[in-house]
Structure 1
Amino acid sequence: MPNSYQNVLALIFAIEEINWSIQLLPNISLGYEFHNFLYSHWRILESFLILQTGQDGIPNYTCGRETKSVALLTGTSWATSAQIGGLLELYKFPQITFGSFDPMLSENRQFPSLYQMAPKDTSLAIRMVSLILHFSWNWVGLVITEGQNGLKFLSDMRAEMDRNGVCVAFVKMISTSLVETSPVNVVIIYYDTDSLNDVNYCIGLHLVTWRVWITNSQWHADITGKNFILDSFHGTFIFSYHHEEISGFKNFIQTAIPSKYPEDPFLALYWFQNFHCSLSESTCTLKNCTPNASLAWLPGNHFDMDMSDGSYNIYNAVYAVAHALHEMFFQQVQVQSTSKGGWTVLSLWQVTIQFNNPTGDQVNLDHKRKLDAKYDILNFWNFPEGLKLRVKVGEFSPHVPHGQQLSLSEMIIEWATGITETPQSVCSESCKPGFRKTPQEGKPTCCFDCTHCPENEFTNDTDMEQCVKCQDHQYANSQQSHCLPKSVTFLAYEDPLGKVLTGTALSFVILTGVVLGVFIKHRHTPIVKANNEALSYIPLTSLISCFLCSLLFIGHPNTATCILRQTTFGVVFTVAVSTVLAKTVTVVLAFKITSPGRRMRQLLISGAPNCIIPICSLIQFILCGIWMATNPPFIDTDAHSEQGHIIVCNKGSLTAFYCVLGYLGSLALASFTVAFLARNLPDTFNEAKYLTFSMLVFCIVWATFLPVYHSTKGKVMVAMEVFSILASSAGMLCCIFAPKCYIILLRPNRSYLFKI
């Protein structure tokens, strides 16, 4: 096979290079002998006996040899090395393998004379996963060679994929048929032996052109021999050990012809197959070949001019033997083993060396001191089929800081046939911001559904598992991808609602002031005197304060306004309602007096009902004082608003607030009851009816206020409170004082008919 014969040429090239060198093994020539191992236990052992003795099957007897073999280089199969290793240890004969590194061979004390040229590939799984993560793939299939190496790679790959959130779509060992159980766009194939040729054949036979294959350097292409324009492996990523280019190797290949190496039957056979030669019957030599033919003429699918990893390992293996011999020569530890004067078999310590090859790369045969390999990432170009180029598109170096280990030139990557842009390989599409991942039962973590975040929660990245709740001063945007700051709002004077309420309050303040002015101007009239001037001025002044009190609820809240609005609200309303109660009691007493000597008349003349005002007000003042001393109102925010961050005055103690409000209600209910009982008292002008109506309006307003107050939030709640204050105050003003103003201003003569 072309790849195998490149290994042969690499060995010949290294030996000739050493033989021409004047620094390494001067005056000593190295030779070589090839044995084509068939996959048979007996054939492998037989080949070694022939190599060692020069006879067919006679151990410990050498005949016809002028020199003795000093080392054995074995091929890519670890089974070959293990099978022949037991026999080689009997002779302490060094075996150097150029296949992939196998930890079992190095750690097993059964083969102390076995050395591996390949670097350690224990980090291959890390390198492959780093490429997968670079393209954001998380749904990947695995095709693995059965055996120790394959199982070790599978274990490393699973662990590394789990650490990085990449899921295994399927795992197929080579002994089973290659039929995937899950749709996947990216498949990792781990090649360890030539047994994977069947896998290549199966893939090529079905012309799978829409897959991205990731594999190691043991992979080789064109084992089917087909020449279709499409190729299943076009765009394959190959992780190859990094090594510098061997100077002169390509020139050597160009000059390698059968006449130069007449004892090499493999080169002659290869020439016969590719350069239209015929065979001379008399001499069994080639004739009529293509003139001046060279291996360099062949297309890439017949012979690859670039040195493979195996050929590079062979090149280093030859130099390892040469350096060992060179060390023996200079230490003068050579011992003649026969009368013909040959070299003894190399001892263990004589082969365990470290050196730099001609390219400057360090070679170390001690597996304990081997460094993690640096990988070249190659991209296989074979479109149209036959191009067979391995183009370096990146590298992974373990000796640089984390995060800079992978470098990739995406612009020059050729993807698999049928793919025009970077492919995706995921079990589920990524969840966009605003959604969270919900695992699918019974499936890997990479398979999930995308669920919309709940209200006022967000996700600001893809594939987040949990939604995050916005803080109280924030709200989620419509896409729920991030939180926005709530606008700081309150019932401002500039708001339309604030303007209406402010204008209404000021209008009633002016109106109440006009009424007060009317009463002061006509204070000598019988109707004003009959209603008691003090009991007329006090409620009017209280109502002016009530209307002005509503303005404390409008504008930017602060600590002072929060406290004043509640205390003013409680005390001023108490004064107004208690005044109404006092007027109601006065009216009842006035109509109940029938005899000049009765005690009720004395109470009325002494002004005892007026004491209701300070007593009731004092009780409310005490309640407000307890409220302010225990848990006073304070500035707070309404976090329940959807997009606005509402600044409000927190009532502090709700119990105290409802006690104040309840006390007001009790006074209003008492006033309403007394006035209702006195509504039918006879006379031309009975004020009890209007007092009844005023308290009825007050009770209706505040009875309606409570449920509405609790069902609203933010500015509407504050506006509702202001409206209740204005409505109840306006009801008292209109019901009590409007009829009197009507009589005073429009029917002045009627006021003289009023009598007590």
Structure 2
Amino acid sequence: MLLVKKSTHGSFFAGCRDPVGLTPVPQVVSVRVICRQTPVPLGPGRPLPGRCNRKRMGLVPQAASARVVCRQVPLSHCRSVFKNYQFVLALAFAIEEINKNPDILSNWTLGFDVYDVQFRTWTMFKNPFIWLFGKYKIPNYSCRRDSRSTAVLTGPLGLTSDHIGTLLGLYRIPQITFGPFSHALNDHHKFPALYQMAPKDTSIANAMVSLLLHFGWNWVGLLNLQDENGLWVLAELNEEMAKNRICVAYELVISSQSISHVLQSMAVYNDINKSSANVLIIHGENDSLIPLIVCIEQLLIKGKVCIMNSQWDFTMKRRYFMLGSLHVPLIFSQHRVDISGFTDFVKAVNPSKYPEDIFLARIWFLSFNCSNPQSDCVTWDNCPHDASLDLLPGRVFDMTMSGHSYNIYNAVYAVAQALHEILLQQTEVQTVGNGKGTLPSSAQLVHYLRNIQFHNSVGQQVILDDNRKLEPEYDILNIWNFPEGLELEVKVGKFSPYALHGNQLSLSEEMVEWAIGTIRTLHSVCSETCGPGFRKSPLEGKAACCFDCTPCPQNEIANDTEMDHCVKCADHQYANTQRNQCLLRDESFLAFGDPLGMALACMALCFSMLTAAVLGIFVKHQDTAIVKANNRTLSYILLISLIFCFLCSLLFIGRPNPVTCILQQITFGLVFTVAVSTVLAKTVTVVLAFKAISPGRTMRWLLVSGAPNFIIPICTLIQVTLCGLWLWTAPPFVDTHTHTEHGHIIILCNKGSITAFYCFLGYLSSLALASFTVAFLARNLPDTFNEAKFLTFSMLVFCSVWLTFLPVYHSAKGKVMVAVEVFSILASATGLLGCIFVPKCYNILLMPNRNSLHGFRDRRQHSRRN
């Protein structure tokens, strides 16, 4: 509590006695702090130190009058008695700094009183009433006529601040809590004059999840208190873990009223130990969790990792949770900078300097054995001359400023800054020559505290308004306990919410001391990681972190771990055998460089040259009887069309492009239509020549007028029309097949309209069938130069080739399809060339006597004589 008195123009005294019967020192501003101290064990023993020879000082009044037996108790068991004394030292340190600073409250002096608040509800308001109304505790009446309190510091427990805040709110007395941030105290309607020094734990969930992600832990347990803070953090943790696909193996919400029961502890133990999760997140601020932790610590299996916040008393936490532990503690502590001069201040504290400080005398009594064996009183001369608090073990008294002490330091400065601003404003409005200033009212201080904002001595910003507070940074602490009992607090990392996403957590993993006998990072997963090439398959009825690993399907990959879905490779790529990488497909088409393509191209060129040679023979022997027979012109047309038939097969070889795809089908269809229609014309010519010998003017007129020669242009025109419709509706185009051959992309010409293609092919087949039928009927006509038999056989070969082509073509894949089509073209054209013209060339070149009418007559006469 802050009590402000002017330090000029006389002295001011309180009208009532203080809580211990000491007269207040004039010209001192008294800061009275309500905080909780651990109850002292009662029992027979020596009187309290300091009762034999009192020296009045007025800095820290006596807070209790109980007897203690600490000399008969090991020092390690008395550390709980010392743990809150650092709060008083931080308070005194801050006030001495302010009083020595001429730039703040230069005409005013700060002081403080300390009151103990018992945790039991029915006695909790005892000392607050004494402070408010004097020792006689008359409600709404204070016997402190000239001294008024301006602010109250409460803590560290939120429950204590809650109960006292209800009382202080009635009188609009500013209350500043230095304990952990409590959402229950954030209700400004219920607590209009209450401010919290601690920053909100808005980043604790994100910080803890970042640590889980760093180590790859996605299967964790949660242990929280069933209070407003615990439930709020639990909701934040669940939400943040769900975003990052971290699953909760079990969730234990413990009621502070029931955690001391053995059955509750055993239930918690069973849930923790039976789970496969090796990580346990414990969040709480209530010391009542410690008995449960003690029970769990004795029963937990070796190797569990415990992630905790630092809102418990750290000395108690180390005592019960870390000493000799086989488990790994990782603690998130709000980052703070050490206050310069605080350690030196604590080293200088001793009972001779503050003789009325009964609690400090108790510490010396327990720690340094300062008593006189022949007297019941403490004799300071018996103490070691170099005795100091820094000689105590760190687990008994920590010289480093704790988080609560840091909040007390900032709270005192916040009140001082607010008072300073109020006094400056009063000075501006006072008339010249009036040196008297009025003590600021509590309502004024409440208003100024709401807007206070400053930087403390280490440069950190201090803001009391909850809506404007900055998110805290966290230090990640690890307790080194090897060798056993070391209990060394080591900073192994840091979390900053202001860093770029992905760089918020910095951790020195090699500095983390894992469980005894373990040198590697522990794992905490429900299912092992799915490696590249596998995807996660959820298990029905289980958490999302529990899954099976399934290989990726054909042409799909998983190039990373923990992939929910496989990624399909692009059309120009294919998946390797490990299903973890997409590789570029090799282009596959019937190329001239391939052995098959080269063989077919050579065959096409050879047969085309052979056909050209046959044409040359016919031209050279154009006046012979064999050449003249069956229309010499039709033979020339047929041979020329066969040359183009052989050459058009070259369009099917090589990398397809839009031009060649169109020329393939159009050229093939037209040249073969000309060839087949020419065969049909030759067959009709044979029939007409035979019929012309018998009486009948019509047949003779058809033969003489050259009517068979019109068959070729008419049939070709029909085919041209069909091709035009084909190109107009759906022309051929370049197509790719990616799944035909593994690792290859097949490039070929798509027919476009399948209907047009089969109409085109059907028309050609109908011409061939008509030629075969007519030739077959004329095969036995009695004529020496009758080639109907050869035409019949050639059409039989032609039809057989293309009937075989259809099933073989549709069963082939890739470039084999193209090769089948080229082979069918070459085979059908070769059938026409061989069956029609080879016998004639044989007679022309090897049997010249058969290539004239004289030879024919001589053979006929010779056959008649015989």
Q: What TM-score does the superposition give when structure 2 sets the normalisation length?
A: 0.77
| Aligned-residue offset at 1:411 | 5.2
| Aligned-residue offset at 1:624 | 2.3
Q: Assess if the C-alpha contact under 8 Å between 1:207 and 1:231 holds in 2.
A: no
Bigger mean CA deviation after superposition, 272-281 or 38-47? 272-281
Alpha-carbon distance change, 666 to 290 in structure 1, aligned in 2, over 3 angstroms:
farther
Residue of structure 2 equivalent to 1:647: 747
Residue of structure 2 equivalent to 1:585: 684
Deviations 1:28-63 (A, max 9, x none): 654444444332012211232344456376667878
Give the distance between the partners of 1:193 and 1:622, measured in 2 at CA.
95
SS in 1 for 2:641: helix
Residue of structure 2 equivalent to 1:337: none
| Structure 2: runs of 5+ lacking an equivalent | 1-79, 256-263, 428-437, 861-866
Question: Which letter does structure 2 place at the counterpart of 1:49?
Answer: F
Deviations 1:192-230 (A, max 9, x none): 211221343234323555333332221325547479985
Matched, 1:47 2:127: yes
Q: How does 1:111-190 map to 2 (within 5 A)?
A: 111-175=191-255, 177=265, 178=268, 179-180=271-272, 182-190=275-283
| Aligned-residue offset at 1:309 | 0.8
Alpha-carbon distance change, 653 to 110 in structure 1, aligned in 2, over 3 angstroms:
closer
Aligned to 1:737, which of 832, 837, 849?
A: 837
Question: Which letter does structure 2 place at the counterpart of 1:303?
Answer: F
Question: Which letter does structure 2 place at the counterpart of 1:406?
Answer: Q
Bigger mean CA deviation after superposition, 73-82 or 168-177? 168-177
Deviations 1:330-350 (A, max 9, x none): 6779xxxxxxxxx97951322
Q: Assess if the C-alpha contact under 8 Å between 2:307 and 2:329 holds in 1.
A: no
Q: Assess if the C-alpha contact under 8 Å between 1:590 and 1:604 holds in 2.
A: yes
Give the distance between the partners of 2:501 and 2:321, measured in 1 at CA.
41
| Aligned-residue offset at 1:601 | 5.1
Matched, 1:7 2:83: no
Residue of structure 1 equivalent to 2:50: none
Give the distance between the partners of 1:728 and 1:435, measured in 2 at CA.
52
Question: Which letter does structure 2 place at the counterpart of 1:687?
Answer: E
Residue of structure 2 equivalent to 1:672: 772
Q: Assess if the C-alpha contact under 8 Å between 1:641 and 1:714 holds in 2.
A: yes
Q: Assess if the C-alpha contact under 8 Å between 1:679 and 1:688 holds in 2.
A: yes
Aligned to 2:402, which of 285, 308, 323?
A: 308
Deviations 1:706-739 (A, max 9, x none): 2222333432222221111001111111222222
Deviations 1:573-600 (A, max 9, x none): 1111122222333334455666366754
Q: How does 1:341-490 map to 2 (within 5 A)?
A: 347-351=442-446, 352-353=448-449, 354=452, 355-398=454-497, 400=498, 402-403=500-501, 406-410=504-508, 413-417=511-515, 420-490=519-589
Q: Assess if the C-alpha contact under 8 Å between 1:235 and 1:413 holds in 2.
A: no
Bigger mean CA deviation after superposition, 114-123 or 365-374? 365-374
| Aligned-residue offset at 1:465 | 3.6
Residue identity over aligned pairs, in percent, reads 58
Matched, 1:297 2:397: no
Alpha-carbon distance change, 198 to 598 in structure 1, aligned in 2, over 3 angstroms:
same
| Aligned-residue offset at 1:307 | 1.3
Residue of structure 2 equivalent to 1:723: 823
Residue of structure 2 equivalent to 1:192: 285
Question: Which letter does structure 2 place at the counterpart of 1:693?
Answer: F
| Aligned-residue offset at 1:311 | 1.1
Alpha-carbon distance change, 233 to 364 in structure 1, aligned in 2, over 3 angstroms:
farther
Q: Assess if the C-alpha contact under 8 Å between 1:212 and 1:415 holds in 2.
A: no
SS in 1 for 2:124: helix
Matched, 1:503 2:602: yes
Q: Assess if the C-alpha contact under 8 Å between 2:419 and 2:440 holds in 1.
A: no
Q: Assess if the C-alpha contact under 8 Å between 2:801 and 2:824 holds in 1.
A: yes
Question: Which letter does structure 2 place at the counterpart of 1:553?
Answer: F
Question: Which letter does structure 2 place at the counterpart of 1:710?
Answer: H
Bigger mean CA deviation after superposition, 119-128 or 22-31? 22-31
Q: What TM-score does the superposition give when structure 1 sets the normalisation length?
A: 0.87
Residue of structure 1 equivalent to 2:812: 712
Give the distance between the partners of 2:773 and 2:526, measured in 1 at CA.
77
Alpha-carbon distance change, 513 to 286 in structure 1, aligned in 2, over 3 angstroms:
farther
Aligned to 2:713, which of 614, 621, 629?
A: 614
Question: Which letter does structure 1 place at the counterpart of 2:804?
Answer: T
Residue of structure 2 equivalent to 1:86: 166
Alpha-carbon distance change, 272 to 711 in structure 1, aligned in 2, over 3 angstroms:
farther
Aligned to 1:248, which of 334, 341, 345?
A: 341
Alpha-carbon distance change, 528 to 63 in structure 1, aligned in 2, over 3 angstroms:
closer
Residue of structure 2 equivalent to 1:340: none
| Aligned-residue offset at 1:569 | 0.9
Matched, 1:628 2:727: yes
Question: Which letter does structure 1 place at the counterpart of 2:247?
Answer: C
| Aligned-residue offset at 1:705 | 1.5
Q: Assess if the C-alpha contact under 8 Å between 1:138 and 1:427 holds in 2.
A: yes
Question: Which letter does structure 2 place at the counterpart of 1:719?
Answer: A
Alpha-carbon distance change, 702 to 742 in structure 1, aligned in 2, over 3 angstroms:
same
Give the distance between the partners of 1:371 and 1:227, measured in 2 at CA.
31
Q: Assess if the C-alpha contact under 8 Å between 1:221 and 1:233 holds in 2.
A: no
Give the distance between the partners of 1:249 and 1:445, measured in 2 at CA.
50
Aligned to 1:697, which of 792, 797, 813?
A: 797
Deviations 1:283-335 (A, max 9, x none): 243787677343323333333222111111122233344445556666779xx
Alpha-carbon distance change, 440 to 405 in structure 1, aligned in 2, over 3 angstroms:
same
Give the distance between the partners of 2:417 and 2:323, measured in 1 at CA.
48
SS in 2 for 1:236: strand
Residue of structure 2 equivalent to 1:97: 177
Residue of structure 1 equivalent to 2:434: none
Q: How does 1:477-556 map to 2 (within 5 A)?
A: 477-556=576-655
| Structure 1: runs of 5+ lacking an equivalent | 334-342
RMSD between superposed Cα atoms in Å: 3.7
Q: How does 1:64-79 map to 2 (within 5 A)?
A: 70-79=150-159
SS in 2 for 1:194: coil
Alpha-carbon distance change, 672 to 193 in structure 1, aligned in 2, over 3 angstroms:
same
Q: Number of residues paired by the alignment?
A: 747
Alpha-carbon distance change, 753 to 210 in structure 1, aligned in 2, over 3 angstroms:
farther
| Aligned-residue offset at 1:131 | 3.7
| Aligned-residue offset at 1:407 | 4.7
Bigger mean CA deviation after superposition, 653-662 or 672-681? 672-681
Q: Assess if the C-alpha contact under 8 Å between 2:293 and 2:321 holds in 1.
A: no
